[in-house]
């Protein structure tokens, strides 16, 4: 039976975590369909993804902003045709998929990090301190995918047909009021090849800008620890960690971050980790490939200069 | 308006969790247990709504072992009015949502505020599942909640920033870190909490079947990263990143 992936749009295309979810789906079955809510250009992009055999596009005001209630109702309407329903573990996927699962009387498995079989998956628990293998007895499976654990399906290579979604009821219990989404030239945190994150030691929102020059030179996304976000130095969507975003870039640079387990949960799969911290005993050095002990206010300008 | 706040007893966030040698789970014996931090935020939000006068009664609920009474007492000390312990160990989010649905039908709250995720299983599912079972609206990952008789306006932490949705009541809200900073219960309030009503019920009394759907095949330590080297200067760092790691 085919498997269905709910896509997360990213402007006129689908997000990189969606491509990781497609890659996870392809480990379950070769017949991978993608559901796109709103956005015909994004549906065309989904149709070009390698491994995708069909795209279903849902148009209409109820779907434009990805509201959970109508989206879940639509997925439930589509569910009889699929053995597995997946979504990336993005804010959208995490919001919608548990609702879908409960409507189907299924126990969701969130943030899967590996597919061991059609009913067996691995996922991290306790802030990444343990890795559990779980097997489900539910006939239908509802899953979200930890994008950092699956190489994204190539953006090109497919030529799937795009179909209109069937009509589904809109429960009409919520409405979209507005959004404050920062526009940035930088890559998205969960898709960036390089990430530079600042912690509490950055000291202020102004100082946080010290990371920008370096980010520009490296084509990096900027992240933050929870402490830096709570203190108002960085916006909430910068938070990397157990309860923020999970990233696995080629290069992760942690600046003035101690390395609490909750932070490590969001970045320890990075290929190369650099830590800059004035305390040589900071736990972050236990996971860093390259550690630089010293004052960030001296080292960051030097780094920006050295990068030319 | 009545409000229900579910809370969970979890291993304290400061504990270094260890995987059991036999691979069946993690060590929880003789480990400090606390209220899930996101649930503390939920209780705090409920108490603030009551202080503002929009909410008249707060009922705290937990589904857990008998010892989870401690977490209910904490909720009562923070300002909840009464508490319900549903005695059951190891229930999955779907089962918990079913228990909560039964309690919602009994208690008739207009709003349920829960933590967005529990820091033990990191599942991030119960609130959305409860909303589904009740057919209610959901405002997850809330960083601001404005409640009126007509509805709840919820500002949500989403991937690119913030999003605001208007929910019809009754509704489910799940909390994110920036919603508030939970208070510490004062000693007099801890004393008072001991006298507040705490009822114990069994899942069967509520007609809920908690048979798990998932089997834990094994639990293991994730692969460990090795600590690398310390470099002496920015120049050495950049040179190593270029020639050794080849990432820039
Ligand atoms: C429920 C819950 C969820 C959480 N989720 C997350 C999460 O998702 N992500 C996350 O990051 N955290 C999370 N945390 C918080 C986590 O436990 C830590 O408190 C947090 O990560 C610490 O942030 P930090 O490293 O920036 O600050 P600190 O721990 O205060 O570290 C600051 C570091 O900066 C160094 N420093 C100070 N001055 C300088 C200087 N001039 N130059 C260089 N170095 C300097 C210090 O040596 C120190 O190591 C969570 C906590 C809880 C309870």
CB atoms within 10 A of CB B207: 9
The b-or-e profile of B24-41 (16+ CB within 10 A means b, else e) is: eebeeeeeebbbbbbbbb
Specify whether A294 is located in the same domain as A224: yes
Specify whether A155 is located in the same domain as A199: no
- β-partners of residue B133 are none
CA distance A30 to chain B (A): 25
Which of A74, A81, A147 lies closest to A110, judged by CA?
A: A147
A194-198/A221-224 β-pairing: parallel
DSSP letter assigned to residue B12: -
Residue A258 lies in a domain: yes
Q: For residue A59, what is the domain's CATH number? A: 3.40.50.620
Q: Please report the pLDDT score of residue A183 as a whole number.
A: 87
Domain count, chain A: 2
Specify whether A130 is located in the same domain as A278: no
| Residues having CB within 6 Å of any atom of ligand 1 | A 199-201, 225-228, 239-244, 256-258, 260, 262-263, 266, 277-279, 282, 295-297; B 13, 37, 119
Q: For residue A216, what is the domain's CATH number? A: 3.40.50.1220
Specify whether A241 is located in the same domain as A115: no
CB distance A136 to A235 below 8 Å: no
Q: Please report the pLDDT score of residue B150 as a whole number.
A: 85
A201: containing domain = 194-306
CB atoms within 10 A of CB A280: 10
Q: Name which residue sits closest to atom 49 of ligand 1, judged by CA.
A: A258
Using CB atoms, which residue from A179, A218, A236 is nearest to B178? A236
Specify whether A28 is located in the same domain as A103: yes
Q: For residue B111, what is the domain's CATH number? A: 3.40.50.620
Specify whether A45 is located in the same domain as A109: yes
Residue A275 lies in a domain: yes
pLDDT tens per residue across span A177-224: 999 998 889 999 999 999 999 999 999 999 999 999 999 999 999 999
A126·B213 Cβ contact <8 A: no
Backbone angles phi, psi at B108, to 5 degrees: 55, 50
Distances (CA, A) of A108 to A235, B126, B132, B140: 30, 10, 13, 17
Residue A56 lies in a domain: yes
Set of chain A residues whose Cβ sits within 8 Å of the Cβ of B114:
none
Specify whether A150 is located in the same domain as A206: no
Which of B79, B58, B62 lies closest to B70, judged by CA?
A: B62
For chain B, what percentages of helix, strand and coil (3-state, to nearest 5) are there?
A: 30, 30, 40
Residue A14 lies in a domain: yes
B128·A102 Cβ contact <8 A: yes
Question: What does chain A look like in DSSP terms, one character per residue?
Answer: --EEEE--EETTEE-HHHHHHHHHHHTT-S-EEEEEES-HHHHHHHHTSTTEEEEEEE-SHHHHTT-HHHHHHHHHHHGGG-SEEEEESSHHHHHHHHHHHHHTT---EEEEEEEEETTEEEEEETTTTEEEEEEE--SSEEEEE-GGGSPPPPSSS---EEEEPPP------EEEEEEEE---SSPPTTT-SEEEEE-GGG-SHHHHTHHHHHHHHHT-EEEE-HHHHHTTSS-GGGBBSTTSB----SEEEEES----HHHHTTTTT-SEEEEEES-TT-GGGGT-SEEEES-HHHHHHHHHHHT-
Domain count, chain B: 1
Set of chain B residues whose Cβ sits within 8 Å of the Cβ of A104:
none
Specify whether A145 is located in the same domain as A199: no
Specify burial of residue A155 (Cβ count, 10 A radius: 0-12, 13-18, 19+).
middle
Specify whether A141 is located in the same domain as A26: yes
* Residue B86 CB contacts under 8 Å (≥ 6 apart), including other chains: B61, B62, B63, B64, B99, B103, B200, B201, B202, B203, B206
Residue A138 lies in a domain: yes
Specify whether A62 is located in the same domain as A22: yes
Q: Does A231 touch chain B (CB under 8 A)?
A: no
Specify whether A9 is located in the same domain as A131: yes
Label residue A238 by pLDDT band (50, 70, 90). Answer: very high
pLDDT tens per residue across span A110-166: 999 999 999 999 999 999 999 999 999 999 999 999 999 999 999 999 999 999 999
Report the alpha-carbon distance of residue A182 to residue A184 in Å, rounded.
6
Averaged pLDDT for residues A42-60: 97
* Residues 128-187 of chain A whose Cβ lies under 8 A from any Cβ of chain B: 128-138, 171-182
Q: What is the model's pTM?
A: 0.97
In angstroms, what is the span from residue A83 Cα to ligand 1's centroid?
42
Q: Please report the pLDDT score of residue A141 as a whole number.
A: 98
Give the A:B interface size as CB pairs under 8 Å: 266
Q: Is the ipTM of this structure higher than 0.85?
A: yes
Q: Please report the pLDDT score of residue A39 as a whole number.
A: 84
B94·A242 Cβ contact <8 A: no
pLDDT tens per residue across span A155-184: 999 999 999 999 999 999 999 999 999 888
CB distance A242 to A256 below 8 Å: no
A91·B157 Cβ contact <8 A: yes
Report the alpha-carbon distance of residue B11 to residue A307 in Å, rounded.
44
Pick out chain B residues at pLDDT < 50.
none
Report the alpha-carbon distance of residue A107 to residue B185 in Å, rounded.
35
CB distance A69 to A174 below 8 Å: yes
B104: containing domain = 2-245
A91·B167 Cβ contact <8 A: no
Q: Please report the pLDDT score of residue A138 as a whole number.
A: 98
Examine the fold and report which residue of A126, A146, A164 is the final residue of a domain before the chain moves on. Answer: A164
Mean pLDDT estimate for chain A? 97
Set of chain B residues whose Cβ sits within 8 Å of the Cβ of A218:
248
pLDDT tens per residue across span A1-33: 999 999 999 889 999 999 999 999 999 999 999
Q: Name which residue sits closest to atom 34 of ligand 1, judged by CA.
A: A256
Q: Please report the pLDDT score of residue A240 as a whole number.
A: 98
* Percent of chain A predicted with pLDDT > 90: 97
In angstroms, what is the span from residue A201 Cα to ligand 1's centroid?
8
Specify whether A42 is located in the same domain as A124: yes
In angstroms, what is the span from residue A263 Cα to ligand 1's centroid?
7
Label residue A43 by pLDDT band (50, 70, 90). Answer: very high
pLDDT tens per residue across span A68-100: 999 999 999 999 999 999 999 999 999 999 999
Q: Please report the pLDDT score of residue A169 as a whole number.
A: 92
CB atoms within 10 A of CB A84: 22
* Percent of chain A predicted with pLDDT > 70: 100
Atom of ligand 1 at shortest range from CA of A282: 49
B157·A236 Cβ contact <8 A: yes
Q: Please report the pLDDT score of residue A117 as a whole number.
A: 98
CA distance B183 to chain A (A): 16
């Amino acid at each position: 039976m085919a498997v269905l992936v709910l896509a997360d749009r990213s402007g006129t295309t689908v997000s990189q975590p969606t491509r990781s979810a497609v890659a996870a789906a392809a480990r379950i079955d070769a017949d991978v369909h993608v559901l796109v809510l709103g956005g015909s250009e994004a549906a065309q992009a989904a149709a070009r993804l390698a491994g995708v055999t069909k795209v279903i596009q849902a148009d209409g005001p109820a779907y434009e902003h990805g509201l959970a209630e109508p989206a879940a109702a639509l997925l439930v309407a589509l569910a009889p045709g699929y053995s597995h329903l997946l979504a990336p573990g993005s804010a959208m996927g995490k919001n919608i998929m548990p609702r879908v699962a409960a409507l189907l009387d299924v126990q969701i498995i969130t943030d899967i990090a590996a597919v061991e079989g059609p009913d067996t998956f691995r996922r991290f628990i306790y802030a990444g301190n343990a890795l559990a293998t779980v097997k489900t007895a539910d006939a239908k499976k509802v899953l979200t995918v930890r994008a950092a654990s699956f190489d994204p399906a190539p953006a090109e290579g497919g030529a799937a047909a795009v179909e209109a979604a069937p009509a589904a009821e809109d429960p009409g219990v919520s409405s979209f009021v507005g959004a404050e989404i920062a526009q940035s030239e930088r890559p998205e945190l969960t898709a960036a090849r390089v990430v530079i994150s600042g912690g509490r030691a950055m000291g202020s929102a102004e100082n946080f800008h010290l990371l920008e020059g370096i980010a520009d030179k490296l084509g990096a996304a900027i992240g933050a620890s929870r402490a830096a976000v709570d203190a108002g130095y960085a916006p909430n969507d910068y938070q990397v960690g157990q309860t923020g975003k999970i990233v696995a870039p080629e290069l992760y640079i942690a600046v003035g971050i101690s390395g609490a387990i909750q932070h490590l949960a969001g970045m320890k799969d990075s290929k190369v980790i650099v830590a800059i911290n004035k305390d040589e005993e900071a736990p972050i050095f236990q996971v860093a490939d390259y550690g630089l002990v010293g004052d960030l206010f001296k080292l960051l300008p030097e780094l920006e200069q050295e990068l030319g | 308006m009545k409000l229900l706040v579910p809370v969970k007893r979890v291993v304290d966030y400061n504990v270094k969790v260890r995987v059991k040698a036999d691979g069946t789970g993690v060590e929880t014996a003789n480990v400090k247990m606390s209220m899930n931090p996101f649930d503390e935020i939920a209780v705090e939000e409920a108490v603030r709504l009551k202080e503002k006068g929009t909410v008249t009664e707060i009922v705290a609920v937990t589904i857990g072992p008998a010892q989870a009474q401690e977490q209910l007492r904490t909720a009562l000390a923070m300002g909840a009015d009464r508490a319900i312990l549903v005695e059951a160990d190891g229930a999955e989010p779907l089962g918990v949502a079913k228990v909560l649905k039964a309690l919602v039908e009994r208690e008739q709250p207009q709003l349920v505020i829960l933590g967005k995720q529990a820091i033990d299983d990191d599942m991030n599912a119960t609130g959305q599942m409860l909303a589904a079972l009740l057919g209610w609206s959901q405002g997850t990952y809330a960083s601001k909640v404005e409640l009126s008789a007509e509805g709840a306006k919820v500002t949500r932490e989403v991937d690119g920033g913030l999003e605001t949705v208007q929910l019809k009541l009754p509704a489910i809200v799940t909390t994110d870190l920036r919603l508030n900073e939970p208070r510490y219960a004062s000693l007099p309030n801890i004393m008072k909490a001991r006298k507040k009503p705490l009822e114990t019920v069994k899942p069967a009394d509520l007609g809920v079947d908690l048979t798990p759907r998932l089997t834990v095949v094994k639990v293991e330590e994730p692969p460990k990263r090795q600590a690398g080297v310390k470099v002496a200067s920015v120049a050495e760092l950049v040179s190593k990143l270029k020639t050794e790691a080849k990432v820039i």
